């Protein structure tokens, strides 16, 4: 398929590292994604924050092909609101430089405390550029128990982001729920492309998957891997595990991997229910890649009790290893997890419902296996390259209409 030849300004929140010799580097996962952008964007200008430090062993040089053909617009990388305010004039000037130099402007809303989209979209509109917005998270949204000032700030950010999305020429979303929330009833120039990062080479073959399931013995093992924060549903999981231990007494092994503000509550849970039939183990985070995938493959299902609308990438990792998902009914999860086909769904935030699902899982390894194999069959549509191919087709189609 043809490349996009027009000059293309991509503004992102992910930083680029600049070392003491002026060399450029970035995180290996971001480098992988950026390389796929370059497959179909011929003239890319990248606007992103800069971190001035030496690279680590996992960083990738941006001074070598294919990254050496990128033009950079270096943006400030504030550490707090005061720095953001002081750097605002420079941010505006740099963003204007990037938007003015290109025909296509592609941006999101992940920046903190000033989103890149707040500047790129209005500037692009004033200059008559073709504007693309991408919504892949909603981290600015607060819960009902948040302080008044945080709720007000969240509402203001939501209004600004919705306005920017509304006036864009092409709107991309990682889930249908985001599309319906931001543009209710609108289908024109709106596309849903899930954010998937798995490589085809890591997807298990059918025989490998069958062998993996044949090796699973003893009690059912379930994995939670993620940040130990409220939005990830960690407190819901803790309450559900207490309920299972006290009422169902189901034999289960739960492994929790992660770090965060709720780590102490998870540790308290381990001590509290250690004499029950439910065994909970806490592990340090595991490096993404073969170590994590090998670990993942040893479980009967993963737990995704999320409270936010985001679409966890862990779901696709699990599917690649023929492991089903037990998750909440948030929009981002329900779009991928089909109840009793490649996983199970329960009502978001309902600890009793999750406990009942855990109790069911403890005695239904065969059903979990069938769902895991179905999940594996779904995987060919969820690779990182497939995601970029879908974006490429959308961009070429919409640009041809202009």
- Band (pLDDT 50/70/90 cuts) for residue 47 is very high
122 lies in the same domain as 217: no
* Full residue range of the structural domain in which residue 102 is found: 4-196+384-400
Tokens of 260: 């965060």
13 lies in the same domain as 30: yes
175 lies in the same domain as 205: no
From CA 85, how far away is CA 97, in angstroms rounded?
A: 19
222 lies in the same domain as 242: yes
Mean pLDDT of 367-391: 93
The half-sphere exposure of 120 on its side-chain side, counting CA atoms within 13 A, is 37
User: Which residues is 106 bridged to in the sheet?
Assistant: 10, 132
CB 319 within 8 A of CB 378: yes
User: Which residues lie closer than 8 Å to 303 by C-beta, 6 or more apart?
Assistant: 222, 223, 224, 237, 254, 326, 327
Domains: count for the chain: 2
Taking the model in full, what pTM does it have? 0.85
204 lies in the same domain as 342: yes
- Band (pLDDT 50/70/90 cuts) for residue 1 is low
From CA 159, how far away is CA 174, in angstroms rounded?
A: 19
- Percentage of the residues of the chain whose pLDDT score is greater than 90: 77
395 lies in the same domain as 351: no
pLDDT of residue 145: 72
From CA 264, how far away is CA 269, in angstroms rounded?
A: 9
pLDDT of residue 335: 86
pLDDT of residue 63: 95
pLDDT of residue 331: 84
Write out pLDDT tens, residues 118-147: 999 999 999 999 999 999 888 888 766 778
CB 322 within 8 A of CB 316: no
Q: Which residue has the tokens 């939005």?
A: 231
pLDDT of residue 16: 95
Tokens of 55: 């690279």
In 3D space, the residue among 254, 251, 245, 244 whose CA is nearest the CA of residue 223 turns out to be 254
Mean pLDDT of 163-183: 94
259 lies in the same domain as 321: yes
Q: Which helix (H) or strand (E) holds 344?
A: strand 343-346
Q: Considering only 143-157, 282-296, 300-314, which range has the smallest mean pLDDT?
A: 143-157
141: three-class secondary structure by DSSP? coil
């Amino acid at each position: 398929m043809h490349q996009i030849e027009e000059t293309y300004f991509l503004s992102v929140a992910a930083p680029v590292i600049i070392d003491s010799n002026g060399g450029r580097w970035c995180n290996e996962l971001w480098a992988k994604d950026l390389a796929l952008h370059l497959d179909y964007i011929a003239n890319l200008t990248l606007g992103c924050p800069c971190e001035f430090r030496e690279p680590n062993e996992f960083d990738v040089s941006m001074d070598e092909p294919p990254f050496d053909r990128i033009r950079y617009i270096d943006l400030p990388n504030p550490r707090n609101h005061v720095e953001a305010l002081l750097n605002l004039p420079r941010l505006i000037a740099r963003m204007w430089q990037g938007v003015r130099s290109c025909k296509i402007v592609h941006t999101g809303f992940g920046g903190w405390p000033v989103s890149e989209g707040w500047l790129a979209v209005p500037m692009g509109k004033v200059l008559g550029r073709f504007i693309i917005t991408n919504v892949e998270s909603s981290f600015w949204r607060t819960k009902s128990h948040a302080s008044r000032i945080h709720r007000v700030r969240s509402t203001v950010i939501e209004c600004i982001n919705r306005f920017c999305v509304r006036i864009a020429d092409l709107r991309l979303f990682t889930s249908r729920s985001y599309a319906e929330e931001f543009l209710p009833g609108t289908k024109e120039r709106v596309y849903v492309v899930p954010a998937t990062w798995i490589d085809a080479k890591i997807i298990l073959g059918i025989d490998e998957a069958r062998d993996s399931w044949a090796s699973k013995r003893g009690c059912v093992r379930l994995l939670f891997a993620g940040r130990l924060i409220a939005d990830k549903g960690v407190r819901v999981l803790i309450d559900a595990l207490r309920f299972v231990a006290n009422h169902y007494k189901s034999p289960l092994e739960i492994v929790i991997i992660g770090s965060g503000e709720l780590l102490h509550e998870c540790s308290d849970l381990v001590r509290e229910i250690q004499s029950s039939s439910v065994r909970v183990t806490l592990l340090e985070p595991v490096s993404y890649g073969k170590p994590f995938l090998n670990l993942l493959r040893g479980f009967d299902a993963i737990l995704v009790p999320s409270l936010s609308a985001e679409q966890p990438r862990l779901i696709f990792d699990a599917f690649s290893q023929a492991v089903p998902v037990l998750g909440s009914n948030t929009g981002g999860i329900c779009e991928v997890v089909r109840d009793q086909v490649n996983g199970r769904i329960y009502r978001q935030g309902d600890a009793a419902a999750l406990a009942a699902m855990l109790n069911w899982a403890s005695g239904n390894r065969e059903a979990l296996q069938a769902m895991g194999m179905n999940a594996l069959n779904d995987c060919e549509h969820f690779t990182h390259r497939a995601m970029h191919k879908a974006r490429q087709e959308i961009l070429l189609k919409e640009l041809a209409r202009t």
